[in-house]
Amino acid sequence: MAAICHGPQILAAAGVLEGREITAYPAVRAEVERAGCSWVDGTVRDGNLVTGQAWPDHPEWLATFLDVLGTDIDHADPVAADD
């Protein structure tokens, strides 16, 4: 599961953050901490949960989530591969 920005508020409301380490948009830090999790600054992976704070985290957050999914990204140049 992946959540970014205010998304962890939904996880807090669902009661699934107890004992987790997460992050979220800084303005909702107190809310998610009240849901029983530990706050970490930056992109966080806790088991199968990946969280980020906001759009600047997108590259690391998405790469971490793709790792959780077991996805390999091949950055080979497709034009060069056809030569």
**Does residue 75 surpass a pLDDT of 90?**
no
Give the pLDDT of residue 44: 97
Q: Is the pTM of this model over 0.75?
A: yes
Q: Do the Cβ atoms of 67 and 61 come closer than 8 Å?
A: no
| Confidence at 79, pLDDT banded by 50, 70, 90 | confident
Question: Catalytic residues, which ones?
Answer: 5-6
**What's the pLDDT tens digit per position in 2-59?**
999 999 999 999 999 999 999 999 999 999 999 999 999 999 999 999 999 999 999 9
Q: Could you tell me which of 40, 38, 43 has the C-alpha nearest to residue 67?
A: 43
| Domain boundary assignment for the chain | 2-71
- Span 2-71: which CATH code? 3.40.50.880
